[in-house]
Amino acid sequence: MSAPSAQDVCVIGGGVTGAGIARDLSLRGLSVLLLEKSDWGGGTTGSSSWMIHGGPRYLEFDWDTTRLSTQDAGYIVSIARNMVYRVVFIIPVLPHDKNNIERMETAMEVYDRFQPLKHAHPHVRLTAEEAREAEPGLSPDIIGAVTMEEWGVDPHRLVFANVQDAVAHGTRALNHTRVVDLLRDGGKVIGVRYRGSDGSMSEARAKVVVNAAGPWVPEVGRMAGAAVHLRPAKGIHIVYPHRISNFSISAESIDGRDLLLVSHAGFTLLGTTDDDFYGDLDSVDVLEDEVDYLLQAFERVFPSIRDYRPVRTTTGVRPTLFKWRRYEDELSRRYEVIDHAPDGAEGFVTIAGGKLSMYRLMAEETSDAVCRKLGHQAPCVTATRPLPGNESDVEPADELGRAFGITALAAMKLQTRQGSNAAAVLKEARSGRMVCRCEPITEAELVHAARHEQVRTLADAFRRVGLAAGPCAGTACVLRAAGVIGNELGWSASQRFDAAREFVRGAWLGRAPILGHSGWAQEEMASGAMRGLRN
């Protein structure tokens, strides 16, 4: 074991909240160690609906959550402007829906009061004919619709942009590093013991340890002898590798829940479920029943949904605050910053609950609590300071593409991930060769990710640059990408093959529940192309 390092704060958990806390504290001048057991955004953050949204559904329960959420969404949209895009929902109303058109429009009129906080437009009411002109795939049975605007974002890039900025300001950030125990001195937590990606054990001393482990906060809390009560809720999404519709669509499920088909930048997410979860947080499976539950709801408003070929599913567990005698859907998305000093764990702080669109505010309040404990006075600047790549406007994609011999589409996609740093990424490796044509991803971007973005596995590359996220689900690019990354990281031929096999096996778990129709045709071809990887 190496000699313990020492810093002001150790943050456990590399989701968007943990990364946001590390960024906030390092910008306030504190030394920070950020530890993540898998990859940045590899847990709940990455399996979200990819939206910075205000949550109109919380208007029924708690207007304060909607206000805080839209306000913070406005800040995030400003600091991450090259990463976000508008998502416009058509909310169709069918006869006998839980909410009739007047009630639905009332909710949108109320939500419109909050929309300016996140730079969004007010709603529009559509007749049934107008709604079907906007989206011809809607059911002929609808009797009207209202619209609602939200923001889409790639949560993996959002997390990593926070990590990048934290590192630029002195944070030491380690992914694939698992905290195995907390160091204690009587009633005080004084650091962490962790296992690095190479298996070696290390210790780090810290004046404050922050537990930002999402649904794993009770587990980390137990290491300090502190009880944290959550009511974890599982959610799944079906992923389609195209925009099924340019407008996003909402639908009512058989049990009256609001489900969403969200049109993102080149793909569609359909979700989500919300079920109490009691299983192993490190092994959450998607069930075919859950897939059918979602499709059944959307068939009512968008009858051709089953004609579309999904490419995979995602699943995650929400770290919802504990509440007895409530349906899962009625649980608040509020958060709580807990100082465990009264529990006999001085120097240990937990952030629990919350949602993606409030991550910055959660990070600010947690950082405030940490600074109070340390007697450190420095203001939070994360509401206005742009994230890396968002400091200036991007150049036109066709000009960038011409300068580096790649298509304008490839340049445009690169800009959605790297913002105004796109040219610098292409300059470094100077290879415009396409590794993944669906996304599309150049060799230069993959080399950059391996050199500078802590990509250590192909699944990390999926999160960082969207490798294998497209319609062919990696058939054409996985082995090629293993070669490029392996070259940078010094992998042997068998290590490259093992990396590809590990990725294909992991991807299969998300694909199996949705295969059908042409999905199996794709699968047959993939099996042939990646012969041996599944053995």
Partner 1 sequence: MARTDSLAKLAFAYGVHLTRRRLTRPRSQFASLLETYAPDGIRPLLPEERERHPQLIGCINCGLCALAAGRIGSVRPPDLATSYMRLYARLGAAASDLVGESPDLAAAASACPVGVPLDEVAAIVRRLAAG
The position carrying tokens 């160690």 is: 33
Bridge partners of residue 321, in order along the sequence: 230
Nearer to partner 1, 174 or 411 (CB): 411
Q: How far is the CB of 334 from partner 1 (least distance, A)?
A: 9
In terms of CB distance, is 14 or 440 closer to partner 1? 440
CB of 464 to partner 1, least distance (A): 19
Nearest distance, CB of residue 80 and partner 1, angstroms: 16
Q: How far is the CB of 311 from partner 1 (least distance, A)?
A: 10
β-pair type (233-240, 268-271): antiparallel
Q: How far is CA 119 from the centre of its chain?
A: 21
- Closer residue to partner 1 in complex, CB, 86/222: 86
Q: What is the CA radius of gyration of the chain?
A: 23
Beta bridge partners of 233: 276, 318
- H-helix or E-strand containing 6? strand 5-12
Q: Please say which residue, 125 or 195, places its beta carbon nearer to partner 1.
A: 125
C-beta closer to partner 1: residue 65 or 457: 65
Residue closer to partner 1, measured from CB, 43 or 440: 440
**323-338 burial code (b ≥16 CB/10 A, e <16):** eeeeebbebbbbbebb
Neighbours of 242 (CB within 10 A): 14
Taking the alpha carbons at both ends of the chain, their separation in whole angstroms is 37
CB of 153 to partner 1, least distance (A): 13
Nearer to partner 1, 231 or 456 (CB): 231
Strands 312-318 and 233-240, bridge-based pairing: antiparallel
CB closer to partner 1 out of 21 and 244: 244
CA-to-CA dists, residue 42 to 201, 267, 400, angstroms: 22, 19, 31
Task: Measure the CA–CA gap between 327 and 29, rounded to whole angstroms.
Answer: 43
Half-sphere CA count of 334, side-chain side, radius 13 A: 12
| Residue among 163 and 422 whose Cβ is closer to partner 1 | 422
- Compute the least distance from the CB of residue 338 to partner 1, in Å: 20
**Distance in Å, CB of 333 to partner 1, minimum:** 13
Asked whether 349 and 340 are in contact (CB, 8 A), the reply is: yes
Q: Judge contact between 252 and 258, C-beta under 8 A.
A: yes
The residues, ordered by sequence, that sit 6+ positions from 133 with a Cβ below 8 Å of its Cβ are none
For the CB of residue 304, give the shortest distance to partner 1 in the complex, in Å: 6
Nearer to partner 1, 193 or 242 (CB): 242
Distance CA 369, CA 348 (A): 11
145 residue type, one letter: A
Q: Give the interface with partner 1 as residue ranges (CB under 8 A).
A: 59-64, 85-86, 88, 102-103, 105-107, 109-110, 121, 124-127, 130, 133-137, 147, 241-247, 263, 265-267, 304, 307-309, 396-398, 401, 407-409, 412-413, 416, 437-440, 470-472, 475-476, 518, 521-522, 525
| Degrees, nearest 5: CA angle 388-393-394 | 85
* Euclidean distance between CA atoms 309 and 518, whole angstroms: 7
ω into 4 cis (within 30 of 0): no
Between 495 and 518, name the residue whose CB sits nearer to partner 1. 518
Least separation in angstroms between residue 68's CB and partner 1 is 13
Report the alpha-carbon distance of residue 434 to residue 41 in Å, rounded.
25
